[in-house]
Homo-oligomer: A and B are copies of this chain.
Amino acid sequence: MLTIRRLTVVALLAALLGVHAVAEEGMWTFDHPPTAAIQQKYGFAVTPDWLEHLRLSSVRFNDGGSGSFVSADGLVLTNHHVALGQLQKLSTEQRDYVSGGFAAASRADEIKATDLELNVLMSYEDVTARIAEASTRAANSQAALEARRAAIAQIEKESLDKTGLRSDVVSLYQGAQYWLYRYKKYTDVRLVFAPEQQMAFFGGDPDNFTFPRYDLDFALFRVYENDAPIRAPHFLKWNAKGAVENELVFVTGHPGSTDRNDTVAELETLRDVIYPANIQVVKRRIALLKQFAARGPEQARQAADITFSLENAMKVYTGEYNGLLDPKIMARKTADERTLRAAVDKNPQLRGSYASAWEDISRAETANRRLYKSQRFGQIRGSGFAGLGLSIVHYVLELKKPDGQRLNGYHDAQLQSTLRGLLSPAPVYAALEEALLADALQESLEELGPEHAFVKAALAGRSSKDAAAALIGGSKLADPAVRKQLVDGGETAINQSTDPLIVLGRALEPLMRQITDTVEKEVTSVESAARQKIGQARFAVYGTSVYPDATFTLRLSYGAVKGYPMNGTLAPYKTTFAGLYDRSASFDGKEPFNLVPRFIEGRAKLDLATPLDFVTTNDIIGGNSGSPVVNKAGELVGLIFDGNIESLVGRFVYDEATNNRAVAVHSGAIVHTLRTIYGAGALADELESGRTAAAR
């Protein structure tokens, strides 16, 4: 554990060196919590037991998101928008759980999610030395990358065999550290409750990533094993009173990725090449989906989930891109980099080990810019279903190789989770997939030209539309059993298949491998080594009281419940149900500010002064969706579901002056609506007591 003295020295150094370390910054790993800083600022002692309870109560949604156990009977709380994919997969034209919501009347009515995997981080250990050793004898950076991969696969497999736990080696601090994370894995996860999407996502795309906010963005699942709810040894006690203004709160969760330690060369590629392309693609796809949805209500239902994701992405990308375009932010990144490089250059030993890294990355980024179009547009995109053919081919071919040489995702320790995706029984909407594929193929044609190998293979002389119709229309892969036969049948089955998506997959596999190899040789392996050096240089100069970029692994952040200056006035620290009715009425109830009937009719049942959402200074990012907000007593006081518009630049830099805030649903809002609006008092009782009535 860090001492206060140590931190003070580091903070001083950081100040001298121009690193803008601020109070609430950081997505901290559990091996390395900012105990001293929390003690110093808030006078609260984070203990190992307190941390362990929090960690074992935290849940990762493997398809991207966070959650927490909230009852001894295996109830898991997350966001509605984290549950959305599963809600859509469980829905049909006749019963739409997305728009209508879902409430299990009894235990027997809880329905199994189609392909959901939840993970709980049971243990973690530093394997940096072992990985480092494996690559010391490598001749070049590509060989070193391969050696590290082999060592990783080996460690994961050993661990899986030994513990039976999902075992992932993760690279932290840009590869300056490697850790083995072991997860307990749950795959029988049943839907218990979800409000109507309109109430979870009230205000829609306009209000997304903003505050004040009035969203009930929550859903409840229950974890089963052997067809019975688990006895959760750790869960968060519900505190319906929530947190008061300025109260210290913690967030645990799985932030997906940040680029705070990227070099300026990397940021420039993002700014000049990748973000413009991303924004263009997303804009195009949203336009297509709106056309598709206009065909009828069932088409609208089918397109809703992906449209929602893309609109969300569009708002994120735009905010992040604006951050990159902000000269102040780029100037700060440039100054920070200059400071670190100067410190490295001043010390002969550091200079010898690390000084070349920035130039290495700069060179690799030149290659990255050159290869980007081929890499991005030279693959099957748009339709997840169309991509299944190539994925099955990949799966079969990767499995032929020794574990250590396989691509990430195909290591033995990962196969079970990968297969769950490949064989998911989720429904396939052929017309939607066809429209998406046609649009993406057309885009590839426009971006790469008709002579590009990918375009030739995919279109085979047809128009994008015709090609998509033939590929989707002719494929039998919508049936999971067909996919299973191919996977089980191995290379022979693949080679004999006449399914157009498999045929295309076979044709594309060598092309993909080639571009992957080129990128790996010219970009990935070079940058992997250089990033590691920069990570180590950062340790050498600033000490180890720093946190790594986000990697979809469990992190702890701390902060305070706090409003902020906004648009000439103040944003409050919370909103109330009265505000929900105000905002709806202020737009005359027009979409996306409409209320569902039970909220219109049930208004009198609600105490309108009940808090609905609130904001905190916790440092979070995408992947933290569904994270619990926890008070000093370890009680759940809220549920993270968003950041404000000011937080989007947080991908690149944390700056308190931008008034970035995490946005959460208030714990009290959830039980209040369950009791008053949804008639789900038993569920509210379970949340507030921590167990079901039967178990009490």
Binding site for B on A (CB under 8 A): 203, 206-210, 212, 245, 315, 319, 563, 566-570, 572-583, 585-588, 593, 608-609, 611, 644-645
Contact B645 A568 (CB under 8 A): yes
Instruction: Give the CA-CA distance A527 to B578 in the complex, in Å.
Output: 55
Using A579-B578, A581-B578, A608-B581 as known contacts, say yes or no to A206 and B586 having CB atoms under 8 A apart: no
Contact partner of A567 (CB less than 8 A), chosen from B566, B572, B582, B586, is B566
A572-B586, A578-B582, A608-B608 given; 10 more Cβ-contact pairs under 8 Å? A203-B569, A210-B569, A245-B588, A315-B568, A567-B645, A572-B593, A576-B581, A576-B585, A579-B579, A581-B608
- Residue of A203, A586, A587, A645 most packed against chain B (CB within 10 A): A586
Using A568-B210, A579-B579 as known contacts, say yes or no to A586 and B608 having CB atoms under 8 A apart: no
Instruction: Give the CA-CA distance A586 to B588 in the complex, in Å.
Output: 22
Contact partner of A572 (CB less than 8 A), chosen from B569, B574, B576, B587, is B587
Contacts of A245 in B (CB 8 A): 588
Contact A579 B588 (CB under 8 A): no
Using A581-B608, A608-B581, A609-B581 as known contacts, say yes or no to A576 and B566 having CB atoms under 8 A apart: no
Contact A586 B573 (CB under 8 A): yes
Contact B581 A572 (CB under 8 A): no
Q: Give the distance to chain B from A661, nearest Cβ to Cβ, in Å.
A: 12
Contacts of A206 in B (CB 8 A): 569-570
Contacts of A586 in B (CB 8 A): 212, 572-576, 579
Q: Can you give 25 A-B contacts (C-beta < 8 A)?
A: A203-B569, A208-B569, A210-B567, A212-B586, A315-B568, A563-B587, A566-B567, A567-B567, A567-B645, A568-B645, A569-B645, A570-B587, A572-B583, A572-B587, A573-B586, A574-B586, A576-B582, A577-B582, A578-B579, A578-B581, A579-B582, A579-B583, A580-B582, A581-B608, A585-B609
Q: Considering the complex, give the chain B residue whose CB is closest to the CB of A593.
A: B572
Instruction: Give the CA-CA distance A644 to B568 in the complex, in Å.
Output: 9
Q: Give the distance to chain B from A316, nearest Cβ to Cβ, in Å.
A: 11
| 10 closest cross-chain pairs (CB), A and B | A568-B645, A579-B582, A572-B586, A578-B582, A210-B569, A578-B581, A210-B568, A206-B569, A576-B585, A585-B609
Q: Give the distance to chain B from A280, nearest Cβ to Cβ, in Å.
A: 21
Contacts of A593 in B (CB 8 A): 572
Q: Give the distance to chain B from A540, nearest Cβ to Cβ, in Å.
A: 40
Instruction: Give the CA-CA distance A486 to B294 in the complex, in Å.
Output: 82
Instruction: Give the CA-CA distance A537 to B188 in the complex, in Å.
Output: 80
Contact B588 A582 (CB under 8 A): no
Q: Considering the complex, give the chain B residue whose CB is closest to the CB of A589.
A: B609
- Residue of A209, A570, A577 most packed against chain B (CB within 10 A): A570
Contacts of A581 in B (CB 8 A): 576, 578, 608-609
Contacts of A207 in B (CB 8 A): 569
Q: Give the distance to chain B from A110, nearest Cβ to Cβ, in Å.
A: 35
Q: Considering the complex, give the chain B residue whose CB is closest to the CB of A645.
A: B568
Contacts of A608 in B (CB 8 A): 578, 581-582, 608
Instruction: Give the CA-CA distance A608 to B608 in the complex, in Å.
Output: 11
Contacts of A580 in B (CB 8 A): 582
Instruction: Give the CA-CA distance A399 to B601 in the complex, in Å.
Output: 72
Q: Give the distance to chain B from A392, nearest Cβ to Cβ, in Å.
A: 42
Q: Considering the complex, give the chain B residue whose CB is closest to the CB of A214.
A: B582
Contacts of A568 in B (CB 8 A): 209-210, 315, 319, 644-645
- Residue of A210, A566, A567, A644 most packed against chain B (CB within 10 A): A567
Q: Give the distance to chain B from A666, nearest Cβ to Cβ, in Å.
A: 11
Q: Give the distance to chain B from A665, nearest Cβ to Cβ, in Å.
A: 15
Q: Considering the complex, give the chain B residue whose CB is closest to the CB of A207.
A: B569
Contacts of A588 in B (CB 8 A): 245
Q: Considering the complex, give the chain B residue whose CB is closest to the CB of A563.
A: B587
Instruction: Give the CA-CA distance A332 to B567 in the complex, in Å.
Output: 24
Contacts of A570 in B (CB 8 A): 206, 587
Contacts of A644 in B (CB 8 A): 568
Q: Give the distance to chain B from A315, nearest Cβ to Cβ, in Å.
A: 8
Q: Give the distance to chain B from A363, nearest Cβ to Cβ, in Å.
A: 37
Q: Give the distance to chain B from A615, nearest Cβ to Cβ, in Å.
A: 10
Q: Give the distance to chain B from A38, nearest Cβ to Cβ, in Å.
A: 25
Instruction: Give the CA-CA distance A579 to B578 in the complex, in Å.
Output: 6
Instruction: Give the CA-CA distance A321 to B452 in the complex, in Å.
Output: 56
Contacts of A319 in B (CB 8 A): 568
Q: Considering the complex, give the chain B residue whose CB is closest to the CB of A610.
A: B585
Instruction: Give the CA-CA distance A575 to B212 in the complex, in Å.
Output: 14
Instruction: Give the CA-CA distance A586 to B575 in the complex, in Å.
Output: 5
Q: Give the distance to chain B from A577, nearest Cβ to Cβ, in Å.
A: 8
Q: Give the distance to chain B from A200, nearest Cβ to Cβ, in Å.
A: 17
Instruction: Give the CA-CA distance A658 to B183 in the complex, in Å.
Output: 51
Q: Give the distance to chain B from A598, nearest Cβ to Cβ, in Å.
A: 17
- Residue of A212, A569, A585 most packed against chain B (CB within 10 A): A569
Q: Considering the complex, give the chain B residue whose CB is closest to the CB of A614.
A: B586
Instruction: Give the CA-CA distance A456 to B563 in the complex, in Å.
Output: 50
